[in-house]
Amino acid sequence: MTDTRSAAPAAPPLAEVLAAAHVVSIPTRTRFRGIAVREAMIFDAPLGASEFSPFLEYDDAEAAPWLAAALDFGWAPQPEALRERIEVNATVPSVGAHEAPAVLARFPGCTTAKVKVAERGQSLADDVARVRAVREALGPAGLVRVDANGGWSADDAVAALAALADFDLDYAEQPSASVDELVEVRSRLRAAGVSVRIAADESVRKAEDPLAVARAGAADLLIVKAQPLGGVRRARSLVIEAGLPVVVSSALDTSAGIAMGLHLAAALPEGMLAGACGLGTVALLDGDVTASPLVPLDGAIEVRRPDLDPALLERYRAAPDREEWWRQRASRAYALLRSRRDQR
């Protein structure tokens, strides 16, 4: 099968890529995934703004498909958009329950919320309190999802989701880390009469075989991100091949990266989107690279590319050593992509 994580488009010369690059460092409003400052490489590319922002701990092999995505989005035509606006969910980090309403207020009009759970150093009681606060804020008509980022064992996941099921969950995202554990959790919940759908995220975007989770019957739906899957076109092909409903999500991107996710969601065939997408996370950043950020309005975001703002790129410009770190990282990822392409 095609390696959708690492396949690269015909790339522009590296010198052109680096000449179009700006490295930014933007604070977050609330610690998210342990991150207080989000670093990203933003490209002022020929076809519009694009983004390369793998998390700092990712090695070059894992970062390479993120660069492939950025090059594809910035230098190659994209699939036709079938939608003009994409409904999005609010994202609630692992904050105290009393802080949840204020976080939700940053996502105007959103009637679906994804709540982070299984945070290290926190307890199930903390998760229950946070999810309860979100459910109360949204009311009975709202949709509540939880995301454990693979943080529970199978036993803990079954116990936690049984406790959280009282809040009428839409689904639980990546309750455990491995595909085998997801199969076990899904089976045990069904046997116990707990009606919670299982969504796979890391088991898709970090897997050697992104389709293994679908073949194993480990999930009811998939969470897909354009950057780690190599771009809009490759992610779209994977989704179609998997045959499961999907939610398109982000990785705490700036508006340049969110635009990539919006274009993926807009290009999916009818019937494949499983509700609101996780593309509203610019609201969690305390800054952006455009004066017209891609944030929710009436619960949705318009499908468009943002215009980069030179003043904001300068305001959030990373320190020289961090800029050089990102330029070296992009150069290594570029070399990996070229090597893989030459081997095909």
Binding residues: 147, 173, 201
Say if strands 90-92 and 221-225 run parallel, antiparallel, or are unpaired: unpaired
Query: Is residue 238 left, alpha or beta, with left meaning phi > 0 and alpha meaning psi from -120 to 50?
Result: alpha
What is the total residue count of the chain? 344
Per the residue annotation, which of 186, 225, 263, 305 is the catalytic one?
A: 225
Closest CA to 333 of 83, 4, 27, 53: 53
Q: Are 210 and 204 in contact (CB under 8 A)?
A: yes
Query: Binding site for Mg(2+), residues?
Result: 147, 173, 201
Task: Give catalytic status of residue 114 as yes or no.
Answer: no
Nearest CA to 301 out of 92, 110, 44 is that of: 110
Q: Which residues contact 169 (CB under 8 A, 6 or more apart)?
A: 144, 145, 146, 161, 196, 197
Catalytic one of 5, 106, 114, 116: 116
The single-letter code of the amino acid at 148 is A
What secondary structure letter does DSSP report for 269? P
Is 116 labeled as catalytic in the residue annotation? yes
Catalytic residue numbers read: 116, 225
